Amino acid sequence: MSTIPIQPHPAFPPPESVEHKFQRLADLWRTDTAYVSSTSDLVAHPVFQEIVGMGPAVIPLLLRELENRTGHWHRALRRITGVDPVAPADRGNMEKKTAAWLRWGKEQVG
């Protein structure tokens, strides 16, 4: 009777890094919401909520996303940080919102 070699399998997969998890979720959110026009629906999406739930660890990743892409990441930043650096007059302008958050990020995160 021959034996089949048993290859060891880890009981648990290695933990996912914060950056990898964020990128996976951000990609999924963008795919799932590609045709959603309602801002409320975009930020109510469970994947967006999961990203917000990752907390302060994702702030630098959110700022990088704002710098490189469009999106509603300023809403996640506001929920995580509890601040809103956007001037009231600029709240309807995505470019100005993005610029305000990137300035905030340079001051806070460095």
pTM for this entry: 0.82
pLDDT of 12 over the 80 cut: no
Residue 66 has pLDDT above 60, yes or no: yes
Q: Is the pLDDT of residue 25 over 70?
A: yes
Please report, rounded to a whole number, the percentage of residues in the chain having pLDDT higher than 90. Answer: 75
Angle in degrees, CA 46, 59, 12, rounded to 5: 60
What single-letter amino acid sits at 59?
A: I
d(CA 52, CA 13) in angstroms, rounded, equals 24
For residue 72, pLDDT over 90 is answered with: no
